[in-house]
Chains A and B, each alone.
Chain A
Amino acid sequence: MTLIDHLPVFLIAIPILASLLILVAGWWDRRFCYPISLVTILSQFGAAVIILAQVMREGTVRYYLGGWAPPLGIELAIDSFNGFILATILLLSVATVIYARKSVEHEIGPEKTIAFYVLFQLLVTGLVGMTITGDIFNLYVFLEISSIAAYALIASARKPRSYLASFNYLILGSIAGGFILIGTGNLYAATGALNMLDIARLLPASFELATVHAGFLFLVIGYSIKAAFFPLHIWLPDAYAESPSAVTILISTVMSKVSVYALFRIIFTIFTTAYIVDVFPVTGFILFIATVAMIAGAVIAIAQSDLKRMLAYSSISQIGYIMFALGVANQIALEGGILHILGHAVMKGCLFMVAGLIIYRVGTSRLSDLGGIAKVMPISCAAFALAGASMIGIPPTIGFMSKYYLVLGALEAGHWVYAAILLLGSLLAVGYIWRFIEIAYFRDGHDGGSGARTLEAPASMLAPMVALALLCLLLGIFVEGLMEIVGPAASLLLGGA
């Protein structure tokens, strides 16, 4: 066994040690926190890339904790699907931690930076754990680790409203956690197994049991609350709008994506398509709700008067696109959905970074106060335009590619009405993206008097934002390379090799 074989466990064990190191080193000097955090997340990202390469070369990587094989022990299993998600979330975490440095000093206050980095590290660790575990109960435990860290991080904005947002999220998140726990218990009662592959193998024998149906519904509803799938989204706008910018970026890009990943994993790997299509047909219902989410999220986003809140509602709409793939459930649509997980993470990360920069410099994110902001923050607004173009789905951005595959998949399955609604949803995205562009570029306000003064933020905040904006474009142009990972991942979900 070489060191490479142990990479999966390093992904979880090292960051937990690092979070303690941050805690202890922070006492000596607060400036140690950021480098330790950066190095840890960078090395996690490196490890994720190595693992993904290994998965693409040799197939699924399995790691048995304590050397106990699955029916008894807990395994970490990484295949092409969660390897892809793992690389995505760690890429976004790297961008966020670079961005966070200045933004944290500004919004949270220097005396709380230690706590911020510790919680940040724990949140990322919990999400990484959720992604790579092969055990359904472990999924719940890591979910709760990341949720508790997220509750504390949202409250760390130290604004009165953020406490309330965090409390509401805590209540709903705990109900979701409870539902997930019951669902897990139902599956355990029906099969006597906790390993995902074991459950998948044993479950067909008891597909008709009411226990299994109840477990399915509990799990799907629980993870839907966590992923803010449309009617269960009410915690999301407050939580995104009231938390510090760095936290918003992390939970909007990484955390919601991991919950969606868990939903995909449970529906496709554990219950398999045979269950959701033949035994307990829910795909049509999910498809319907997903389209409602797309439209409703976008319409409410257009009505918002605050930039961050607008982007938060846009997230609800975009989650609808990803769930659309789940509802169509064929190869092409799933490729589109998985691509959209990456694409939405990158573009929404960039958009929230712009919102954070505006708050950093102007001190508000009310749209009415931002007239002519493009004259003083040209780079940020250009990045917003690029990421916004991707959000709308203008070729050749990544947003276009994922929607293209989604529409193709829907057409192949014969859902041409839904495909039309999806395109209508993209049209609505123009509504809210253009609103900011119009205010920023064509309205007066910020150029009067100040003349040549520029309000651009420090380079450490600009760099990750610009990088993500360019990624929106580059990923769309070089989508062929991505499809070599996404294609196998989609066929893996559908039960192929």
Chain B
Amino acid sequence: MRRNVIIKTVSRFLVPFIQVYALYVIVHGALGAGGGFQGGVVFAASFILMIIAFGLTCVRERFNYKWIVMLSALGITIYATIGLLCLIPGGNYLEYGSIEALLGIPHLHGYLIDAVEIGIGITVMATMTSIIYDMGDTGGESS
């Protein structure tokens, strides 16, 4: 693929905005339209844009496969751990209200939902990126 200076410059400019927007979508999961799935996909889209503009090898050097697997494991661990923590005060799985009642902090359930959404977002982002990596890998000449 011929390197195009316009594509490179524009994507370099766009990527931070896409990522900030993704974070905005993720943390809006508790109170508005948004959530981990959507935000995670938007975040992964920023990586895909980078891969299109700068090539797979360049992106892989900075964000390698091991990191991706670790991150996807981390995301689900956050989700499952918070779910299981809710069992300690006697609630059901993911019953945020039980932790809030135990600690007495108002609106804690909102923060917990945010934490769970962040976990989902991390996993979705990592998984989408890993799909792109794997696809790009086996396709022969594709940098």
Contact of A20 among B76, B84, B97, B98 (CB under 8 A): B76
Which residues in A have their C-beta under 8 angstroms from that of B95?
Answer: 66-67
B89 to chain A, nearest CB (A): 10
Tell me, yes or no, whether B77 is within 8 Å of chain A by CB. Answer: yes
Distance from B133 Cβ to chain A, minimum over Cβ atoms (Å): 15
In the assembled complex, the Cα of A153 lies from the Cα of B5 at a distance in Å of 43
| Interface residue from A17, A27, A65 paired with B93 (Cβ < 8 Å) | A65
B77 touches A1 (CB 8 A): no
Known contacts A23-B69, A24-B70, A67-B97; decide if A17 and B92 are in contact (CB<8 Å): no
**Chain A interface SS verdict (over half):** helix
CA of A9 to CA of B94, assembled, Å: 10
* B-chain residues with CB within 8 Å of residue A24 when the two chains form the complex: 69-70, 73
Q: Which residue from B66, B84, B94, B98 sits with its C-beta under 8 Å from A65?
A: B94
CB of B92 within 8 A of CB of A67, answer yes
A186 to chain B, nearest CB (A): 25
Residues in B whose Cβ lies below 8 Å from that of A63: 92-93
Q: Does A31 interact with chain B (Cβ within 8 Å)?
A: no
- Taking a contact as CB atoms under 8 Å apart, the answer to whether A9 and B80 are in contact is no
Q: Within 8 Å of chain A (Cβ to Cβ): is B83?
A: yes
CA distance A84 to B55 in the complex (A): 53
Question: How far apart sit A13 and B70, CA to CA, in the bound complex (Å)?
Answer: 19
Contact assessment for B94 and A66 in the assembled complex, using a CB-CB cutoff below 8 Å: yes
B77 with A17: CB separation less than 8 A: yes
The one of B70, B80, B98 that contacts A67, using a Cβ cutoff of 8 Å: B98
Inter-subunit contact B92/A20 (CB<8 Å) = no
In the bound complex, residues from chain A placing their C-beta under 8 Å from that of B110 are none
Q: Please, what's the 1-or-0 string for A49-69, where 1 marks a CB less than 8 Å from any CB in chain B?
A: 000000000000001111100
- Interface pair A66/B70, CB less than 8 Å apart: no
B90 at the interface (CB under 8 A from A): yes
- Interface residues as binary, A3-23 with B (CB distance below 8 Å gives 1, 0 otherwise): 000100100010011001001
**Min distance, Cβ A22 to any Cβ of chain B, angstroms:** 10
Given contacts A13-B84, A67-B98, A20 and B91 within 8 Å (CB-CB): no
| A16 and B93 contacting across the interface, CB-CB below 8 Å | no
Residue of B nearest to A20 (CB): B73
Q: Could you say which residues of chain B place their CB within 8 Å of the CB of A9?
A: 83, 92-93
B93 x A13 contact (CB < 8 A): yes
What is the distance, in angstroms, from A278's C-beta to the closest C-beta of chain B? Answer: 39
- Bound state CA distance, A203 and B80, in angstroms? 35
Q: Establish whether residues B80 and A16, one from each chain, have CB atoms under 8 Å apart when the complex forms.
A: yes
Within 73-87 of B, Cβ neighbours of A (below 8 Å) are at 73, 76-77, 80, 83-84, 87
User: CA separation between A1 and B80, bound complex, in Å?
Assistant: 19
Query: Shortest CB–CB separation between residue B36 and chain A, in angstroms?
Result: 16
* Contacts A20-B76, A23-B69 given; does A13 touch B92 at CB 8 Å: no
Chain B residues with Cβ below 8 Å from A23 are 69, 73
Check if A66 sits within 8 Å of B92, measured CB to CB.
yes
> A318–B62 Cα gap in the complex (Å)?
54
CB pair B97–A13 under 8 Å, yes or no, is no
Residue contact B73 to A67, C-beta cutoff 8 Å: no
Known: A23-B69, A24-B70. A66 touches B93 (CB 8 A): yes
| A13 to B80 Cα, complex, angstroms | 7
Q: Residues of A contacting B77 with CB < 8 Å? A: 17, 20
**B83 CB contacts on chain A under 8 angstroms:** 9, 13
Please tell me if the beta carbons of A1 and B76 are within 8 angstroms of each other in the complex.
Answer: no
Interface centre among A17, A63, A64 (most CB of B within 10 A): A17
Which residue from chain A places its CB closest to the CB of B70 in the assembled complex? Answer: A24
A17 to B84, CA, bound (A): 11
What residues of A have a CB within 8 angstroms of the CB of B94 in the complex? 65-66
CB nearest neighbor in B for A21: B73
With the chains together, A16 CA to B76 CA distance in Å? 8
Nearest-CB distance from B91 to chain A (Å)? Answer: 6
In the complex, which residues of chain A have a beta carbon less than 8 angstroms from the beta carbon of B84?
Answer: 13
Q: What's the nearest-Cβ distance from chain B to residue A395, in Å?
A: 46
Q: Looking across the interface, which residue of chain A has its beta carbon closest to that of B98?
A: A67
Instruction: List B contacts of A1 (CB < 8 A).
Output: 90, 92
Q: A13-B80, A17-B76 are in contact. List 6 more A-B contacts (CB 8 A).
A: A6-B92, A20-B73, A20-B76, A23-B73, A24-B69, A63-B93
Chain A residues within CB distance 8 Å of chain B: 1, 6, 9, 13, 16-17, 20, 23-24, 27, 63-67
Q: List 9 A-B contacts (CB under 8 A).
A: A1-B90, A1-B92, A9-B92, A17-B76, A23-B73, A24-B70, A27-B66, A64-B92, A67-B91
